[in-house]
Structure 1
């Protein structure tokens, strides 16, 4: 056998767990993408406006606070009544995100249909505005709608390319762990504990190892 073929054979024997696990993981990811139910995402936008000029930093701080409140029951209760869903269902499908330097809140809704995602995002945005503006005299800021949610063109998940890549990455990890597990017994067999003389009692072997 020539040297290149011998080297290739040695590499295959060494790396076969990874070579086997990567396509299996990629196939599992692609299979998941093929059978997973579609989910759609829509975004509604709200802006925090300071009632006094020159208080832009105050508006940004309140945007951060109200963005965290977007997923709380006191805000979701009104949205749940408007959409006919439960508060717990909205907690799982709606989230609010903010920017560290802009007084804007993005309300993201997800659902099995485009209309469900739009309805959830807009309902929570409306509920958040109403909830916050009841305290505008005390906070000095007011929430106003910036843009209503637009119907998504296609599902946000599953993604065949992303799920396949994640499956392949998981295959690399599993294959590497399998290789590491195979090396441990081999390393243990080659250590000092492997130097055992047949018929020698264990106590005497240990004493000989100490000497």
Structure 2
């Protein structure tokens, strides 16, 4: 029975060359890759947050200060500014919390008041995750302010009147998902640009050019020649 001749084994150096040829080298990423990568990551994170956050609704009602008979009109403007400041007071919010069904501590963060320096009008805005509750909060605070202020009409000569009731809004005031994604992409791109500025230089990248020394002035040469003479 004849034995097959053994095949000659390739030399180690040749084996390494064959392995290097069989595996193609991986393409190197460009130096500016952090910018698009961070922009895409920021857009994904911001878009996910925009989809998962609860919608927020805002509803606004208006009350106006009217001067009583014999009271100067400027007094109504001054009292409107004063009543706008006490809208977020503890007594007003405690009275409104019973009607709105929201604790006074929570109601403080869900109510915003705005006054105008040109007109005796007070805007009361309620914020909630449902449109009906947003309108109920604004109307409850407005009713509490009317009750509190009109009890002092004989002393102030100014009466608050319900000018416009708050109604449930049709659309939410939350930012849409495309807008949040765009903001996240811009923030991520900016972060990627900062990474490019602070990252260490990779081997093989050209170093920054070194400035050459400025040539000596011609008067220095003349002075040197005179010293030689």
- TM-score band by shorter chain is 0.7 to 0.9
Local SS of the residue matching 2:127: strand
Task: Tell me the equivalent position of 2:181.
Answer: 164
Unmatched 5+ stretches in structure 1: 1-11, 191-211
Partners of 2:58 and 2:173 within 8 A in 1: yes
Matched, 1:150 2:189: no
Q: CA deviation at 1:53?
A: 6.6
Root-mean-square deviation over aligned CA pairs: 2.8
Give the number of aligned pairs.
178
What's the CA shift for 1:101?
Answer: 1.4
CA distance in 1 between counterparts of 2:34 and 2:85 reads 45
**Distance of 2:43 and 2:199 partners within structure 1:** 23
Which residues in structure 2 correspond to 1:52-71 (within 5 Å)?
Answer: 55-71=72-88
Q: 1:96 aligns to what?
A: 113
More helix by share: 1
2:40 corresponds to: 23
Find the aligned partners of 2:83 and 2:121 in 1 and give their Cα distance. 10
> Where in structure 2 are there 5+ consecutive unaligned residues?
1-28, 202-206, 209-229
Q: TM-score w.r.t. structure 1 length? A: 0.73
Query: Partner of 2:135 in structure 1?
Result: 118
- 1:66-101, CA deviations, whole angstroms, 9 ceiling, x for partnerless residues? 222222211101110112221011111111112221
Once residues 147 and 58 of structure 2 are traced to their aligned partners in structure 1, the CA distance between those partners, rounded to angstroms, is 23
Larger radius of gyration: 2
Contact 2:71/2:158 (<8 A) preserved: no
Measured after TM superposition, the shift of residue 102 of structure 1 is 1.7
Matched ranges for 1:68-83 at <5 A: 68-83=85-100
Is this contact kept in 1: 2:112–2:126, CA < 8 A?
Answer: yes
Secondary structure class of the residue paired with 1:142: strand
Structure 2 contact 96–140 (Cα < 8 Å) conserved: yes
Q: Please, which moves more after superposition, 18-27 or 92-101?
A: 18-27
Corresponding residue of 1:42? 59
The separation in 1 between residues aligned to 2:117 and 2:31, in whole angstroms, is 49
Q: Secondary structure at the match of 2:62?
A: strand
The verdict on how the C-alpha distance between 1:183 and 1:140 changes in structure 2, with shifts beyond 3 A counting, is farther
Question: Using the alignment, how far apart are the partners of 1:127 and 1:134 within structure 2?
Answer: 11
Kindly provide the CA deviation profile for residues 153-204 of structure 1, in whole angstroms up to 9, marking residues without a partner as x. Answer: 12212422332233233224422432332379xxxx98xxxxxxxxxxxxxx
